[in-house]
Structure formats: C-alpha cells, structure tokens
Amino acid sequence: MFLSLICWKRQSGVSRYLRAVIKRQLHLEKAAYRRTVPLLRAALSSRNYGIRIGAGAFQSVGVSVSVGRRQLGSKSKTVYGVVSCFRTYSTLVQKAEVKMPEVKPFERLPTTVLPKHYKLALTPDLKTFTFKGEVSVEIQVLQQTDKIVLNALDLTINKVGLLQEAITNQLPSDISVSAENETAAFTFPQSIQPGDYSLEISFTGEVNDKMKGLYRSKYVNQRGEDCYAAVTQFESTDARRCFPCWDEPALKATFDITLIVPPKLEALSNMPVKSTQDLGELIRFDFERTPIMSTYLVAAVVGEYDYVEDRSADGVLVRVYTPRGKKEQGLFALEVATKVLPYYKDYFDIAYPLPKIDLIAIADFSAGAMENWGLVTYRETCLLVDPENTSAVRKQWIALVVGHELAHQWFGNLVTMEWWTHLWLNEGYASFVEFLCVNHLFPEYDIWTQFVNDIYIRALELDCLRNSHPIEVPVGHPSEIDEIFDDISYNKGASVIRMLHHYIGDGDFRKGMNLYLTKHQYKNTFTEDLWEALEEASEKPVGAVMSTWTKQMGFPVVQVSSKPTEDGSGTLLTFTQNKFCLDGEKPSTDYMWMIPISVSTSQDPLKEVVSTVLDTRETEVIVKNVPSNGWIKVNPGTIGFYRTQYTPEMLERLIPAVHDKSLPPLDRLGLLDDLFAMVQAGNTSTVEVLKLLKAYEDETDYTVWSSISNILTKLGVLLSHTDCEETFKQFEKSLLSKVSKRLGWDTLQGEKHLDTLLRGLVLGRLAWLDDEHTIEEASSRFDRHIGSGPYLPADLRSACYRAVLRAGNKDTYDTMLKLYRSADLHEEKDRISRALGATKDENLLGKVLEFAMSEEVRSQDTIFVIMSVAMTRPGRELAWKFFKDHWKELIDRYQGGFLLTRLVKFTTENFASEKMAIEVENFFNDHKSPGTERTVQQGVETIRLNAAWLARDSEAIANYLKSYA
C-alpha cells in the first residue's frame, strides 16, 4: 500500500480536521441525494451538478453549492444541489484551457412522470426490414400535468392511450415528435392527476442497417444464402429507436418482453423463455420478467444460431450462441465465462443475480461487445475461436472481452451510473476488473504487464493533449455521450482504479466493492458513492485523493532530483509536480494532484522503500542505503498515473539495469516510455531516446518489445516526412536483430505464450521495414500456404500477409482478395483486410480504399481498412482525400458514433505541417458532424505537435542516424 493510516498526521495538506470535514460533508451529500432524487436529476440536467474544483491555489478547504433551474410540470423550481467539500485544487472543470466542443442545447426528461414497468412486444419482419411494436408502460404521475414526455426516435407512433385501473382510456389531443430532442410528447385534453396509470402505445419502425436500435445483421447460412438476424444495440441512447421509453439510465423499470418471430429462428432476450405459443406462421416467445434495470440494457436477438452450454460452479446456465454449424467455435468463450462468473462472485461476494447468461456472436456489430443483462452480444472476432485459424493474441483478447462484459453484470447492470457523466463507473471498472479475472484464469499471459502498454500508456497519450477531457465530464446530448466512449473513460478510468487498488490494498478494495455493490444494488450511483464505500473500507482519504484524478483533465509529470544527505547517510530526493502537456508549454491554470509516490532502488528492485502522497507542489524524501553507483527508480511497477522526469545523472545510472535486466519488465517499459514522452514534449532531444533504445537490444520480454514497437512506429511515421526515413529503418533492423534470430519463424514445442506473441510482433515489424530476409521467407511460406501446404500458423499470418504485399504487385493483391472471399472465419477476413494497406503501389492503395467501402467489407471493419492505408507514407494523402470525397456516404453509414470518430482520428493524426492542420480544421468547420468535435480538435492538435517536433529535432535525428546510412 502507498499510504498507511498514520500518514494522516504527517500530510501537510490533509489534517485531521479536513478529514472530519470531508467525512461529514460526504454524509450530508448522501442524505441530500436520497431526499431530492427527482430534483437532483433536474439539477444535473442543467450541468451544474458535481464537486467542482476551485480556482484557487492548493491551500484551503472550500465549499461549493450548485444551483440549477428546471421546469417541473408547469412550475419553475430552483433546485439546490449538493454542498460539496473539497480541497481547492487549481482548475475549474468548466474553464478549459482550450476551446471545448460546442455544447448542444439539451434537457433531460421531466420527472413529473416516471416508468415502473414495461410490457413490450416486438414483431420484426426480416423480409421487409420493418417491425411492429406495442408497449404498455405502468407509470407513476408525481405531479399534476397535461403532458407526458418520453424518448422516441425514427418510430411511427400509431396509437396512444392512457388508462387508469384499466377503465378510463384517455386519448391525447396532440402528439408532437422532436427528432432534434429525440422525444415524443403526448398532450391530453384534461389534466392528469397524481397516481398510477398505464400508457399504451402501438408503433412501427425500420429494422435498420446502422447497427443501432433494432437493426439487421447480414450473414451467410450453411446453404450459402444471404440471411439476416434482428439484433438490438441500445447503449447509450438507442432504446428509443426501438420503442418509446424513458431512455435515461436512472429511470429504471422492470420489463416483460415478448418476441413474435418466424418458426425455426432462435428468439433471445435478457431472461429465460417463460412460454411459447404457436400462432401459425409465427411463434410467440414470452420471457420472464427482468429485474429493475435501465433501458440501454434491454436486448433481443432473432436469427439462426447454434449453441453450446454448461453451468458455472455456482449453478448459472451459460450458453454461447454461434452461427449455425460453428458451435465448436464457442467452446473457449464458454470455458472462460463459466469460470469468470464464480470468480466474480467470490471477489465481490455477491452472486450473479439472473438464472442464465447468453453470449452471442453477431456478424454486424459496431462495438466489440455489449453487456446487455443476461444476453451479451459480441462481434464474431471477440467471441469465436477456431483452433486451426485463431491466433494466440486473438484468443487472449477474447478472454479479456468476455471478462470485461461479465464484469459489467455487476458494474453497470446491478449498479448503474446515474447519468453518462459517470460512464467511467461502468467502463473504467470493467476495464480494470477484466485484467483481474484473466490474470487469475491465465497467469501465463502476464496480463498485468500487458495492461501498462495496452491500457495505461494509451490513456496517457490521449490525456496529455490540451483537447482531452476529465474522466467525469458533463454531457447531455446523445452526440456528446458517444464522444466519451474513449480512452479516457475506459483506459484512464482503469488506470486510476489500478493506482487506487495499489494504494488501499486488495483486501480493502474488495471490501469496498462489496459495500458499494450491496448498498446500491438495483439502483443508480454517482462517483462519490464509490469513494464513500472505499473510504469506509480502507479508512483512507479516497475521495480527497481520487477527485483530483477524475475531475481534472490531464495528469502530472513528477520531476525528481537527487543529492547526498548532509550527513552522508542517504540520498535526498526532491519531487516536484506540474501538469504534463505534450506541447511543452506551461498550463495557464495551476493544476495540482494528490499523487501516490513510491520508490525502489538497485538494492531490491521489487521492494518499495518509499511510499507517500505528494499533495503539495514539492516535497523531499530521504532514501537510505543506496550504493554510490546504485540506481533509484520512481513509480516502480508503473502504477501511478503520471510521467517521471529524471535528471540526466539519475537516468544514466538506470541504463545498465536495462542492459542486464535487473530492472523489472514493467520498469524497463515505464522508463523508456516516460523518456519518449519527454521527447515529444520537447523537454529533451529525440536523440536521447534513440540512445536509450540501444540498451534494449537484448530485451526478451514481449510487452517491453510491444512498447518499443509503438515508439518505433511513431518515430517512423514522423520521419516519413523527412529524408532520413530509410536510415531510420536500418536503425530499427539493427535493434531487432538479436530478438529475431532468437525466435526464428517456427514455434518451439512447449513455447511460452508470450514468445508466440513476440514472434508475430517482431516479424510484422521487420516486414514493415522491408527486411529482405523476412520478405523472402514470408513469400516462400505464403506460396506454400496458398498451394499444396502446409498452411501458415495463425500467429504468423498477419506478418506474412503484410510482407508479401510489401513486395508484391497486382497479382499478389488479387490473390489476397481471393483468400479474403474464401475465408469462413471473420478473424481471417479481418487479418487480410487490415494487411491490404501494406502495398506500396499507389494505384493498388486506391483499390484498397474502394474495397473498404464495398459491400464485401462490413461497416464496422471499413475504418480499419482505411486506417491500413492512412498509416503509410504513400497512403495518408490518398486516405485523407478519400475520406473527404466520401464524407456524405460515411456520415450516412455511421451517423456519428465512435466508429466515425475513430476514422477521423486515423485519417488525420499522421500529418505534420501547419498547412495540413489548417486544411483539416477548415474541412470540419465546413462539414459539421455531431459527436466528432472533440476528436477533430485532438487531430488538429496532434498535427501541430508533429510539425513542431519535426522542426525541433529533425536535424539532430538525421545527424545521429548517419552511421546507419
């Protein structure tokens, strides 16, 4: 643990008095929440809720009162929010350093009428791609009104009636629909008095092709025929596209769901089937009643599927649904799921509350997976394993995704965030907990080391931009909500939870999780509810510490210097914190964090000799028994969410520990990535990171090499704008020489999982560098693969496909397309399509882009095919032009959402000139798309950062690389 309880006495900024005040204020806040839930929702909609971080220096205790106004029925009320006690940190969230995306007008639904129970019946027609629906909603009218407002979008409302005690049927005098607000309003001729009613609505809609709401997913059946499944995807705000409802996470209700479908089709929903009825040409499926839950978790699937099943150790029925004829491909996910459920039951000390859980593979699916309660939907590539054709890295990924979605059954489903501002409570926690369970099930994955490269570093890379956002960010309009499904909510959320877990220890963390889940099960929460539970469990100032990480944008850089103590008995370390900005400029606002700091030394690299909290601008710590030639490592295990900047002398002492690997893998990784961040920010020369990279020539760890590969990719893209691109490739080949010779091409008997992953990584890197021997061997193996055999192992295919395309021509390209068209496993199609951009021929790159938009490529995969082109020097201009030329088509296809934001990122971030920054900025000023504003700002910022980096360092890099010419 970072901090023992006694540290309360020693911390200059956290006195006993402050602790008492914080605990008292938390108690008052909780009381206020429970007394004023409807009014609090109203206050939240006006964007004034939350513990706001004060604008003063980090010196004192402050109190903030949020006030909001909201129409409640026909009266306007002033709503007083929560009185919040906090340390007055240095930034006011609402006052960002940069121009933030324009806030769209938005109001949450009125709280005069609330739903209690839905009876929902859907009849999808997969020939006409339409559906009929009826919903009967038991509602509670809390205040006299003549209007009922709820969410509805892209629906035709045919009939509305309001019943009380099943006798009085009042018809609305007016029905108004607002596509902009995504609402329907029913105005009645007489006032509706407080009480219980039933709202009856019949409606129709389209089974659309946009992968949201109730949509159609195309697949090829065993007879080779094109068929369709009807699938729902409601998160975050698309239940309203399927049925009129109160489509906000806090407006929970129970559901009786009915599906009326053609015979011989599977019909699935959240709960088990209660009864079926033969209606002649159709079959009626009635499902058991759900627990009280949010609308975004409602789910239904209709189509042709096989399944495998088993029961978990605690008796839950688990089924994995696959395309017909492929049920054996569900066995791995079934094995993982049946083990994950009892693991989570034990870890949280709360059983999974439903009688069954289904995991189903969907052909067309925008996200990786969706945690619908009891019916979890997945992309095929995130669920299905073919032992002959699935790579080790894909199998590992599937284990993580299954772990993530099942974690949501507790975090998100059982306990749900009150509003999307607190999305990270769902996604950050699931992204952390998935690693806990996979580490338990597959210790050979060394998954926590991979966490740092795949989760932690990705979060740092985004959060150092001035156009980042806090973990808790005010959102309202659905397009704003879509934008925060990003590396901040997921990866930064998971990273700060990992830091917190280390700070309070696993025992208190588990105890706090149980307190949180038990107290709030079937309810909604704010972030402060979680801090309260963890603080009660650990008796540590969790709320005070963690609010600095969730309510502020960005993270600190901790600058450390050392000198001998005056008496010569130890080393005096001085720590200074500042906000880390990738542009290297000092932030305009005086940021401050409460930073758990730890230190290890060469005497025992795995032991923390210092654990404290840096809660001031600067502090000093004495470390004993460091030899004169020994090293000191800050942030051992790369757990704290911050960058470390050493003095040149301290860094120099660490380099031998990289060579001889006495520095553990996570620290070798963290040391390099921190220095690379300093390079990007202009705090040191790129030459310094090139020199440090040479210390990694004998590296053997997969995750360290994965991080090195990411750095080499970024440097390669940058230097592709210069004349030293080829000499940098020679530098890379020299760096990779030893590890490539050690691994070779063929898997050894009993080989470690991570060596298998490393071989694919290294060969893929060498193929990208046009390494002659790699391309020659890849071409030979590929010829045998498409000829008489043997087939390429799945773990080598991505590298091999890229290698032959790098050296190939149109015949090679056509052969790849033939392989793509004959592939039966979507993972194989995905591998091939992502490799196509490796070709150097600009004419072929144009064909790749056209192929990306063809019907042969699923919409969710299009962006990755375009990305494969945009990542290359000859392809980035082509991809950007293609993106502009096909803007209207892309907007129609994705209608906003995170797939479009990813495409914006991929097609803009590799430029490196002010001219291109202006061009990108102007294009999106003229072509607005809700939900992409922040991503556009980040892209333009990245282009300018690249340009500044080139101007600053290109000459020094070229001089250093001359020896590799």
Q: Is residue 940 part of a domain?
A: no
Structural tokens at position 739: 């590890």
Structural tokens at position 133: 């629906």
Please report the DSSP string for 199-251 in residue order.
Answer: EEEEEEEE-BSSSSEEEEEEEE-TTS-EEEEEEEE-TTTTGGGTS-B--STTS
Structural tokens at position 928: 């607005």
| CA dist., res. 195 & res. 815, Å (int) | 69
Structural tokens at position 568: 């010569």
| CA dist., res. 179 & res. 185, Å (int) | 12
| CA dist., res. 137 & res. 123, Å (int) | 18
- CATH code (residue 96): 1.10.390.10
Look-up: residue for tokens 């750095």?
A: 711
Residues linked to residue 601 through DSSP beta bridges, in sequence order: 604, 632
| CA dist., res. 673 & res. 914, Å (int) | 27
Residue 579 vs residues 462, 489, 947: alpha-carbon distances, Å: 14, 19, 22
- CB within 8 A of 884, min separation 6: which ones? 923
Q: Is residue 821 part of a domain?
A: no
In the three-class reduction of DSSP (H, G, I as helix; E, B as strand; rest coil), residue 268 is classed as strand
Q: Is residue 294 part of a domain?
A: no
Strands (E) located in 372-460? 375-379, 415-417
Measured over the CA atoms of residue 235, residue 240, residue 244 and residue 247, the dihedral's sign is positive
474 and 542 in a single domain? The answer is yes
Asked if 632 contacts 558 with a C-beta cutoff of 8 angstroms, the reply is no
Q: What is the DSSP letter of 604?
A: B
Q: Is residue 485 part of a domain?
A: yes
Kindly give the interhelix angle for 392-408 and 331-348, rounded to the nearest 10 degrees: 40
> What pLDDT shows up at residue 568?
84
- The secondary structure element, H or E, covering residue 158 is strand 155-164
495 and 561 in a single domain? The answer is no
Structural tokens at position 194: 């407080």
Omega cis (within 30) before 790: yes
In the three-class reduction of DSSP (H, G, I as helix; E, B as strand; rest coil), residue 719 is classed as helix
- The secondary structure element, H or E, covering residue 530 is helix 527-538
Please report the DSSP string for 96-138 in residue order.
Answer: -SSPPPPPPP--PPPSSEEEEEEEEEEEEETTTTEEEEEEEEE
Residue 12 belongs to domain spanning: 7-107+417-550
Residue 469, marked binder: no
- The secondary structure element, H or E, covering residue 308 is strand 306-311
Residues linked to residue 229 through DSSP beta bridges, in sequence order: 217
Residues linked to residue 211 through DSSP beta bridges, in sequence order: none
521 and 561 in a single domain? The answer is no
Measured over the CA atoms of residue 57, residue 58, residue 59 and residue 65, the dihedral's sign is positive
Which of 707, 799, 696 lies closest to 745, judged by CA? 799
> What pLDDT shows up at residue 103?
56
> What pLDDT shows up at residue 837?
97
Q: Is residue 532 part of a domain?
A: yes
Residue 636 vs residues 200, 375, 401, 601, 851: alpha-carbon distances, Å: 60, 40, 28, 9, 47
| CA dist., res. 405 & res. 297, Å (int) | 12
Nearest-Å Rg of the Cα atoms of the chain is: 28
- CATH code (residue 614): 2.60.40.1910
Asked if 964 contacts 734 with a C-beta cutoff of 8 angstroms, the reply is yes
493 and 593 in a single domain? The answer is no
- Annotated catalytic residue 777: no
Task: Among 527, 550, 573, identify where a domain stops.
Answer: 550
| CA dist., res. 346 & res. 810, Å (int) | 56
Residue 427, marked binder: yes
578 and 544 in a single domain? The answer is no
Q: Is residue 66 part of a domain?
A: yes
Active-site hit among 29, 405, 933, 941: 405
Look-up: residue for tokens 């129409």?
A: 71
608 and 526 in a single domain? The answer is no
Omega cis (within 30) before 236: yes
Residue count (the chain): 965
| CA dist., res. 545 & res. 8, Å (int) | 12
Asked if 322 contacts 365 with a C-beta cutoff of 8 angstroms, the reply is no
Measured from the Cβ of residue 32, the count of other Cβ atoms closer than 10 Å reads 17
| CA dist., res. 664 & res. 803, Å (int) | 33
Q: Is residue 593 part of a domain?
A: yes
Asked if 644 contacts 557 with a C-beta cutoff of 8 angstroms, the reply is yes
Residue 477, marked binder: no
Task: Give the count of alpha carbons within 13 A of 822, CB side only.
Answer: 7
437 and 526 in a single domain? The answer is yes
| CA dist., res. 435 & res. 340, Å (int) | 11
Bridging pattern class, strands 254-261 and 113-125 = parallel
Task: Among 517, 532, 550, identify where a domain stops.
Answer: 550
Asked if 41 contacts 77 with a C-beta cutoff of 8 angstroms, the reply is no
Task: Among 659, 682, 706, identify where a domain stops.
Answer: 659
545 and 564 in a single domain? The answer is no
Residues linked to residue 633 through DSSP beta bridges, in sequence order: 600
Ranges of residues in the chain with a pLDDT under 70 are 1-104, 166-167
545 and 565 in a single domain? The answer is no
| CA dist., res. 398 & res. 373, Å (int) | 19
Q: What is the DSSP letter of 1?
A: -
Q: Is residue 539 part of a domain?
A: yes
502 and 623 in a single domain? The answer is no
Name residue 529's amino acid. Answer: D
> What pLDDT shows up at residue 393?
98
Domain count, the chain: 2
424 and 532 in a single domain? The answer is yes
Name residue 420's amino acid. Answer: W
Asked if 626 contacts 609 with a C-beta cutoff of 8 angstroms, the reply is no
| CA dist., res. 714 & res. 487, Å (int) | 18
> What pLDDT shows up at residue 319?
99
Structural tokens at position 608: 């923390």
| CA dist., res. 837 & res. 834, Å (int) | 7
| CA dist., res. 233 & res. 237, Å (int) | 9
Which of 811, 777, 901, 195 lies closest to 482, judged by CA? 901
Which of 104, 121, 184 lies closest to 151, judged by CA? 184
Asked if 925 contacts 933 with a C-beta cutoff of 8 angstroms, the reply is no
| CA dist., res. 702 & res. 755, Å (int) | 7
> What pLDDT shows up at residue 6?
27
| CA dist., res. 267 & res. 342, Å (int) | 27
Look-up: residue for tokens 């938009």?
A: 853
Which of 195, 139, 147 lies closest to 172, judged by CA? 147
pTM over 0.85: yes
In the three-class reduction of DSSP (H, G, I as helix; E, B as strand; rest coil), residue 571 is classed as strand
CA dihedral 807, 810, 815, 818 (to 10 degrees): 140
533 and 564 in a single domain? The answer is no
